Amino acid sequence: MDWEKIQETLDSLMEQKRHGQLRGALMMINPVDIAEYMKKLDRENLLLLFRILPKDISAEVFSYMDSDQRETLVESIGDKEITALINEMFVDDAVDFLEELPANAVKRVLQNTAPQTRAIINQFLQYPENSAGSLMTIEYCEFSPEMNVRDALRTIKETGVDKETVYTLYLVDQRRKLVGTVPLHKALVVPEDTPLIKLVDPSLISVSTLDDQEVVADTVRKYHMLSIPVVDGEGRMVGIITSDDIMDVIEEENTEDFEKMSGLAPAEEPYFKTGLFKLAGNRLPWLLILMLTSIFSGAIIARFESVLAMNILLSASIPMLMDSGGNCGQQASTLMIRGLALGEVKFGDLTRVLWTEVRVGVLVGLVLSAVTFVRLLLLNQAAVDLALVISVSLLATVILAKGIGCTLPLLAQRIGLDPALAASPLITTLVDASSLLIYFSIATEFIL
């Protein structure tokens, strides 16, 4: 049964007020899909559907709703329902939810939570935004190093239903220092009297509460972890970060880099929820910068006006030259930014990277120049010397653009800037100005 038919069935049950059957139908649907279905409901039906769901499922569905729907529900439901909702949610989901609410709504929610839960949530809210501490959860399987497999499995059966993940066992000593981790599959294939300490992974990998979320994502991605322990400044374990939260971080970071590479200020809200003036404001800064920096290109063209006046084909080739240079520079910068994000390249590799990109530029430039030379001779009936000037200029531009494109992101990271900032706007300006200088210098030397 496809999703459209499922939605039609749910719509029909809701219109006919067959709430019992509606509840049964919802129980057979994944919470993510329920949250997706609820996006199209008005306030009244949204509240009705939410109250039909069992408490545990409604809390899970709530964690997948967008911020507007969550705020609508908090404004509509009673204090007891808020208390039950927060109690059913995992702490990290509750914290994420509260961070999106207005201050008055946060105050109301916290007033209707248990004192112990409120204290934990307040502690989480004090961590810096986008830090490991703000991402972590305290629902994990914690064990003493002296325990054996039998006792550990019994504990998981008794308490695992309240944990966000049970796939990793964390061994913590009496001082709450993290001793090591044991993958669950190891515990399942050994005798039950085996001490957990004998199954500990030899390498202990963790992050600090104050580590940036990008550092956390890079660590999890590097070591292929399902979850990663979080420790405080003294090495005491305070929580874990699970892979689903890491996936959200990776998506967020990739989106931010993509926006910066396109000359956009990072957006905090989805496209259709961002106001018109905000959308324009996110785009204007780099557009203004690029427009003003184009003055340099204009000045170069004006400086060599006499050269352009000699042959219209020289002027007609400028867009091709600048576009090819910009495209080549963009390709190199994209590879460098991705390589930096994945840890495949670093500033110390600058010489090696530059040598590689220059050679690539030579190969690519030769092909583009040869095609251009033949095109000018056959289609434009250009003189051989003029075709050579344009083709050689293109070759030099491609090589230079590759060099600039691979160098700027590495230099940006070296001085503490985001490499994505150096990608499109700055590279475009430098490559355009450089390509014109090369072009007119060669033209002046061989034509005048």
Q: What is the mean pLDDT of each run of 10 residues along the chain (448 residues)?
A: 82 86 88 88 86 84 82 80 78 77 74 77 82 88 92 91 87 91 92 93 89 88 88 89 85 72 63 72 72 71 69 82 87 85 84 94 94 90 87 93 90 81 70 85 77
| Nearest to 389, CA basis, from 333, 321, 329, 330 | 321
What pLDDT was estimated at residue 252? 77
3-state secondary structure of 334: helix
What pLDDT was estimated at residue 447? 65
* Spatial strand order in the sheet of 168-172: 141-143, 168-172, 178-183
Q: Output the CATH code of domain 141-244.
A: 3.10.580.10
What pLDDT was estimated at residue 262? 62
Report d(CA 442, CA 448) in Å as an integer. Answer: 10
What pLDDT was estimated at residue 186? 92
Report d(CA 103, CA 97) in Å as an integer. Answer: 12
| Domain ranges (residues) in the chain | 3-126, 141-244, 271-446
Report d(CA 446, CA 448) in Å as an integer. Answer: 6
What pLDDT was estimated at residue 198? 93
pTM (whole model) above 0.75: no
Other Cβ atoms less than 10 A from the Cβ of 397: the count is 29
What pLDDT was estimated at residue 331? 87
Question: Residue written as tokens 């590479």?
Answer: 261
Report d(CA 50, CA 440) in Å as an integer. Answer: 69
**CATH fold match for the domains 3-126 and 271-446:** no
Question: Class for domain 271-446, per CATH?
Answer: mainly alpha
Angle at CA of residue 334, ends 329 and 336, nearest 5°: 95
What pLDDT was estimated at residue 204? 87
Instruction: Give the CATH H-level superfamily of domain 3-126.
Output: MgtE N-terminal domain-like (1.25.60.10)
